[in-house]
Amino acid sequence: MPLVLRKFALSGLLLFAASAAALWTIAARANLLLDGSFETPVVPVGGFTNFTGAVPVGDWTGGAGGQVSIVSGTFTQGGLNFVAQDGVQWLDLTGFNANSPNDSVSQTVATTVGQTYTLSYFVGNVVNPGGIFGTSSSVNVFINGVFAQTSTNSGGAGTNTLNWEQFDLTFTAGSASTTIAFFNEDPPGDNSNGLDNVSLVAVPSTSVPEPSLLALLGIALAAIGLGRRPNPV
């Protein structure tokens, strides 16, 4: 093969290997949860929609005996702005004039036994002393029905806008499916507990490359060796 064509083929092979590796990385970091920003169903602009009991809340499911609301990011009340952290909607775990430990949403996804995952989410809070929205927002996270952690956001003092704080949780899957659930942990009388921008991603292994990537790298290295071989006389 002429040297120019050989270099061209080698460059194409290396580009293919690099692209495949990049695509694998992107796939590994894809969000396994559907509608983590609660964009469906679409609620009235500037308003909200309530969901009571174990009913579908878009791609999520409400908790039995509880109530939650999907809220428009342009909703305002009492001089407070309830903006979304991501997209144009968010979830209020307290529902409308309702607040109980049963207020929750959950979603079940396929997982790989032994695989490590990172759950990331934002909790929204407004500081409204003496008002109906309280001064902090606390969310309990359950993995397959087992309590995992409580996340509390007390930020937002001195502002009139919903404050968002990110929290993370890393766990190893023990079954082929995993249910992620978020429960309201605010006290009675606190009628705002935001949840938004929820994601669940697999943590890529940094020790052993995927077999397919090893094969591609092997082909690329072999091609490099051929590219360096002197032309026959």
pLDDT, averaged in runs of 10, over the chain (233 residues): 50 43 51 98 98 97 97 97 98 89 97 98 97 97 98 97 98 98 96 98 73 48 49 49
Do 127 and 41 lie in one domain? The reply is yes
Do 191 and 84 lie in one domain? The reply is yes
Do 147 and 221 lie in one domain? The reply is no
Domain that residue 154 falls in: 30-99+107-202
Burial class (CB in 10 A: 0-12, 13-18, 19+), 30: exposed
Give me the residue label for tokens 């009340």. Answer: 77
Q: Three-state DSSP class for 27?
A: helix
CA distance 55 to 71: 17
Residue 162 within a domain: yes
Do 171 and 217 lie in one domain? The reply is no
Q: By the 8 A CB rule, do 63 and 106 touch? A: yes
CA distance 66 to 222: 61
Q: Report the CATH number that the domain containing residue 73 is assigned in CATH.
A: 2.60.120.260
Do 71 and 146 lie in one domain? The reply is yes
Residue 215 within a domain: yes
Do 95 and 140 lie in one domain? The reply is yes
Name 51's Cβ contacts closer than 8 Å, sequence gap at least 6.
Answer: 57, 62, 67, 68, 69, 70, 95
Residue 233 within a domain: no
Do 188 and 83 lie in one domain? The reply is yes
Number of Cβ atoms within 10 Å of the Cβ of 118: 14
Residue 111 within a domain: yes
Do 85 and 11 lie in one domain? The reply is no
Do 189 and 152 lie in one domain? The reply is yes
How confident is the model at residue 206, as a pLDDT? Answer: 67
Number of domains in the chain: 2
Nearest to 148 by CA among 124, 127, 121, 130: 121
CA distance 169 to 121: 9
Q: DSSP character for 17?
A: H
How confident is the model at residue 231, as a pLDDT? Answer: 52
Do 183 and 220 lie in one domain? The reply is no
Neighbour-count burial for 165-195, b at 16+ CB within 10 Å, e otherwise: bebebebebeeeebbbbbbbbbeeebbbbbb
Do 118 and 157 lie in one domain? The reply is yes
How confident is the model at residue 3, as a pLDDT? Answer: 52
Residue 57 within a domain: yes
Name 223's Cβ contacts closer than 8 Å, sequence gap at least 6.
Answer: 9, 10, 13, 14
How confident is the model at residue 98, as a pLDDT? Answer: 76
How confident is the model at residue 99, as a pLDDT? Answer: 86
How confident is the model at residue 35, as a pLDDT? Answer: 98
Residue 51 within a domain: yes
CA dist list (Å): 167 to 28, 73, 139, 144, 195: 20, 20, 10, 19, 11
Do 69 and 169 lie in one domain? The reply is yes
